Protein backbone atom coordinates (compact mmCIF):
# COMPACT_ATOMS: atom_id res chain seq x y z
CA UNK A 1 0.00 0.00 0.00
CA UNK A 2 1.47 3.35 -1.00
CA UNK A 3 2.37 5.81 1.69
CA UNK A 4 0.23 8.94 1.09
CA UNK A 5 0.73 11.90 3.36
CA UNK A 6 -2.10 13.81 4.97
CA UNK A 7 -1.30 16.92 2.88
CA UNK A 8 -1.62 14.92 -0.34
CA UNK A 9 -4.93 13.50 0.83
CA UNK A 10 -6.30 16.95 1.63
CA UNK A 11 -4.99 18.20 -1.71
CA UNK A 12 -6.83 15.45 -3.56
CA UNK A 13 -10.03 16.09 -1.60
CA UNK A 14 -9.73 19.81 -2.38
CA UNK A 15 -9.21 19.05 -6.08
CA UNK A 16 -12.24 16.77 -6.17
CA UNK A 17 -14.34 19.37 -4.34
CA UNK A 18 -13.31 22.13 -6.80
CA UNK A 19 -14.14 19.87 -9.74
CA UNK A 20 -17.53 19.03 -8.23
CA UNK A 21 -18.27 22.70 -7.55
CA UNK A 22 -17.32 23.76 -11.10
CA UNK A 23 -19.36 21.03 -12.78
CA UNK A 24 -22.34 21.68 -10.51
CA UNK A 25 -22.28 25.40 -11.40
CA UNK A 26 -21.96 24.59 -15.11
CA UNK A 27 -24.80 22.08 -15.12
CA UNK A 28 -26.94 24.50 -13.11
CA UNK A 29 -26.49 27.12 -15.82
CA UNK A 30 -27.47 24.62 -18.50
CA UNK A 31 -30.58 23.72 -16.51
CA UNK A 32 -31.56 27.40 -16.33
CA UNK A 33 -31.12 27.72 -20.10
CA UNK A 34 -33.31 24.67 -20.72
CA UNK A 35 -36.01 25.47 -18.18
CA UNK A 36 -39.04 27.08 -19.83
CA UNK A 37 -39.96 28.88 -16.60
CA UNK A 38 -36.62 30.68 -16.45
CA UNK A 39 -37.01 34.26 -17.69
CA UNK A 40 -34.02 36.56 -17.91
CA UNK A 41 -34.71 40.22 -17.32
CA UNK A 42 -32.86 42.33 -19.87
CA UNK A 43 -33.27 46.08 -19.84
CA UNK A 44 -31.96 46.35 -23.40
CA UNK A 45 -34.61 43.95 -24.68
CA UNK A 46 -37.26 45.74 -22.63
CA UNK A 47 -36.15 49.00 -24.21
CA UNK A 48 -37.15 47.73 -27.66
CA UNK A 49 -40.28 45.82 -26.62
CA UNK A 50 -41.89 47.91 -23.88
CA UNK A 51 -40.51 51.39 -24.64
CA UNK A 52 -40.26 51.25 -28.42
CA UNK A 53 -39.93 54.98 -28.97
CA UNK A 54 -36.99 55.44 -26.59
CA UNK A 55 -35.30 52.29 -27.85
CA UNK A 56 -35.38 53.32 -31.49
CA UNK A 57 -34.63 56.96 -30.64
CA UNK A 58 -31.53 55.85 -28.73
CA UNK A 59 -30.43 53.59 -31.57
CA UNK A 60 -30.95 56.40 -34.07
CA UNK A 61 -28.97 58.83 -31.92
CA UNK A 62 -26.06 56.37 -31.73
CA UNK A 63 -26.14 55.98 -35.51
CA UNK A 64 -26.26 59.76 -36.09
CA UNK A 65 -23.38 60.30 -33.66
CA UNK A 66 -21.22 57.70 -35.40
CA UNK A 67 -22.09 59.09 -38.82
CA UNK A 68 -21.16 62.62 -37.66
CA UNK A 69 -17.83 61.37 -36.28
CA UNK A 70 -16.97 59.70 -39.58
CA UNK A 71 -18.18 62.69 -41.63
CA UNK A 72 -16.10 65.24 -39.73
CA UNK A 73 -13.08 62.92 -39.66
CA UNK A 74 -13.22 62.56 -43.43
CA UNK A 75 -13.61 66.33 -43.74
CA UNK A 76 -10.47 66.82 -41.62
CA UNK A 77 -8.54 64.33 -43.77
CA UNK A 78 -9.67 66.06 -46.96
CA UNK A 79 -8.62 69.43 -45.54
CA UNK A 80 -5.15 68.02 -44.69
CA UNK A 81 -4.83 66.60 -48.22
CA UNK A 82 -5.73 69.99 -49.75
CA UNK A 83 -3.18 71.77 -47.53
CA UNK A 84 -0.44 69.34 -48.57
CA UNK A 85 -1.04 69.98 -52.28
How many domains does the structure of the chain reveal? 2
pLDDT tens track for 29-80: 655 556 666 666 777 777 777 878 888 898 999 999 999 999 999 999 999 9
DSSP letters, 35-67, are: -TT-----HHHHHHHTSHHHHHHHHHHHHHHHH
What does the DSSP 8-state code read for residue 74?
A: H
Q: Are residues 65 and 75 in the same domain?
A: yes
Q: Are residues 26 and 66 in the same domain?
A: no
Instruction: Tell me what pLDDT residue 3 has.
Output: 66
Instruction: Give how far the C-alpha of residue 19 lies from the chain's centroid of Cα atoms, to the nearest Å.
Output: 25
Single pTM value for the model:
0.45
Name the phi and psi angles at 3, rounded to 5: -90, 105
Instruction: Tell me what pLDDT residue 37 has.
Output: 66
Q: Are residues 35 and 47 in the same domain?
A: no
Q: Are residues 8 and 18 in the same domain?
A: yes
Instruction: Tell me what pLDDT residue 19 has.
Output: 74
Range of 2's domain? Answer: 1-40
Instruction: Tell me what pLDDT residue 29 has.
Output: 61
Amino acid sequence: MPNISLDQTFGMIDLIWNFYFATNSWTGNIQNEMDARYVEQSSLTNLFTEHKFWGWAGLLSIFVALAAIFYFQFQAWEQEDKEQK
